[in-house]
Amino acid sequence: MSAERILCRLDDISDGDSRGFPAAAGAFTGLFAVRRGDAVFVYVNSCPHIGVPLDPAPDRFLDARKSVIVCSTHGARFRIEDGLCISGPCYGECLEAVPARIDAAGQVLVPADAGR
């Protein structure tokens, strides 16, 4: 098994909401997570269109209905479950997904090198 790091506890993200995380030591790009019940979807915080961070303000990655991820720069919209762009300048491209798992203690774990 490859090295992992703790991103947060699942309970640190409200169900149906999102949270951003700064780049880890030595990493280039931060990550963000979206919680749906007991599932969490983690992505690199970089729009595939031009590489800008998605959030206009801390922890704001979702539209008002909290149904899709939105890029604040050009309004691209991405499905939460797989990061696929469903509208906007990068239509058909995907956010960079980060494998995540929730351990028995409720911690969200990601690869140690995620975001590099």
Question: What's the rounded Cα separation, in Å, for the pair 114 and 7?
Answer: 10
Residue 69 β-bridge partners = 62, 78
Domains of the chain: 4-111 (2.102.10.10)
| pLDDT over 70, % of the chain | 97
Q: For the residues 5-20, what does the mean pLDDT come to? A: 96
**Beta carbons within 10 angstroms of residue 108's beta carbon:** 23
- Tokens encoding 63: 């539209």
Helix (H, G, I), strand (E, B) or coil at 49: coil
> Which amino acid, 25?
A
**Tokens 């979807």 — which residue?**
41
Compute φ and ψ for 10, nearest 5 degrees. -55, -40
Q: pTM of this prediction?
A: 0.93
What span, in angstroms and rounded, lies between the C-alpha atoms of 68 and 26? 30
For the beta carbon of residue 34, count every other beta carbon within 10 angstroms. Answer: 23
The pLDDT tens digits of the residues spanning 49-92 come to 988 899 988 899 999 999 999 999 999 999 999 999 999 999 99
pLDDT at 27: 67
pLDDT band at 116 (very low <50, low <70, confident <90, very high): low
